[in-house]
A = this chain, B = another copy of it.
Amino acid sequence: MQSFLPTRFNSRPAMSDIFAKTRRLFDLPDNLVYLDGNSLGPLPKSVAERVSREITVGWGEKLVRGWNEHGWMDMQMEAGNRVAGLIGAPEGSVIVADSTSVNLFKVLTAALAMAGDRRKILSDSGNFPSDLYVAQGVIGTLARGHQLVVAKPEDVETAIDGDVAVLMLTEVDYRTGRRHDMKRLTERARAAGAVTIWDLAHSAGAFPVDLAGCNVDFAIGCGYKYLNGGPGAPAFLYIRPDLAKNIAPALAGWLGHEVPFDFDLDYRPAPGIDRMRVGTPPILSLAAFTSALEVWDGVDLAAVRTRSIELSELFIAEVEARCPQLELASPRDPQVRGSQISFRFHQGYAVMQALIANGVIGDFRAPDIIRFGFTPLYLSKEDVGRAARTIEKVMRDRLWDTPAYKARAKVT
């Protein structure tokens, strides 16, 4: 871990110094305020050269020898250990592999196998629809009478009862930023005999996460949001270390085998988390992600959280003062919020198109939410001020009220 230069008057660097330094690790276009790092994190400067080296030296010169000589075979664990350090997980308990959805399939099938005769998967309507789809796919495939119960977020705690096999939640609501109390709900589930799965897609890299301290059974999450791993970066998967040895993977693949290169006809899982590897990972995307994770060297996530709240509070204050038409969709209390701020507006899609055309990138989520992510590694108070002034202009001058902005594109 590299350390920061101390400021002149203090052995701990001032927070603005920390983030001025991390800001320089990213390539961001000029004249743009990027508030969509919770959808696709921006490009860390180290990535282009790293991927170029994998292509020209690893692939081009080493060829198949790259698996040994260019570190490809161990990269899933290497990236996993870097992620582990950001989510309160011990070394060797996280791998980077596949997509978030595929990883959820792996851990949900494993969790249900641990849950004995119980048949209820409890989730909430604040979860990613994609996570609910995975559960629906698992239920249809197992065909053993499992049931997905989708509670309201505020009703989850009381819905945890002795019938729940698996509590499957995303910590931060992708639309509103509402944050669940992971420790409390995990304890509650554990007391009720349920297995827990947390999706950390909007948590990892956004604020401190303490999987071990919360005694979470399984977790998954995304590489391309706050971890800046690049478009479609491989995802991560955590298993509480004592659980791994008893899991019979649904997705049994050769890289999860105890001895992949013996080419035995029978699957025998590797001892620990390695068994959750399946097929050969996409090395170029994985290398990009691994390189992107270096921006976290020496970064204190508690400082990230403090600054994220500062930026978010400033944003709310500035926008509410300027734009009475917008209704805050996020919790007002920062303690129950992730690192994003959302507002509601009936023409939210058109507003976001106008904002993007005016150099402020956030995103829209149906039906009426405009969403802004706050990522201290590369965002300053000046960025927040500029964003608020642009939103004011778009709302005041009704810049959104053009047919071109109102037409819905395929991807928003």
Contacts and interface: CB of A to CB of B under 8 A. Distances in A.
Tell me the number of copies of this protein: 2
Contact of A261 (B36, B233, B366): B366
Contact of A142 (B27, B99, B142): B142
Contacts of A132: 265-267
Contacts of A34: 63
A399 interface: no
Contacts of A264: 129
Nearest to A279: B99
Interface in A103-129: 105, 109, 125, 128-129
B250 A141 contact: yes
Interface string A262-293: 11111100000000001111111110100000
A98 B278 CA distance: 10
A220 to B, nearest CB: 10
A46 to B, nearest CB: 11
A54 to B, nearest CB: 8
A376 interface: no
Contacts of A288: 55, 284
A101 B265 contact: no
A125 B253 CA distance: 17
Category for how many chain A residues contact B: 35 or more
A252 to B, nearest CB: 3
A258 to B, nearest CB: 11
From A27, A133, A412, name the one whose CB has the most chain B CB atoms within 10 angstroms.
A133
Given A231-B58, A231-B284, A263-B365, A67 B100 contact: no
A48 interface: yes
B279 A412 contact: no
A67 B411 contact: yes
B231 A72 contact: yes
Contacts of A235: 279
A56 interface: yes
A15 B316 CA distance: 68
A263 B142 CA distance: 24
Interface string A202-241: 0000000000000000000000100000111111000000
B51 A36 contact: no
29 contacts: A27-B56, A36-B63, A51-B55, A55-B288, A59-B231, A63-B361, A72-B232, A98-B98, A100-B279, A100-B280, A101-B253, A102-B253, A105-B251, A125-B265, A129-B265, A133-B252, A133-B256, A133-B267, A136-B266, A138-B250, A141-B141, A231-B283, A232-B279, A232-B281, A234-B282, A261-B366, A261-B411, A263-B365, A284-B288
Given A98-B102, A105-B250, A142-B143, 7 more contacts: A29-B63, A99-B279, A125-B265, A141-B141, A232-B284, A232-B286, A261-B412
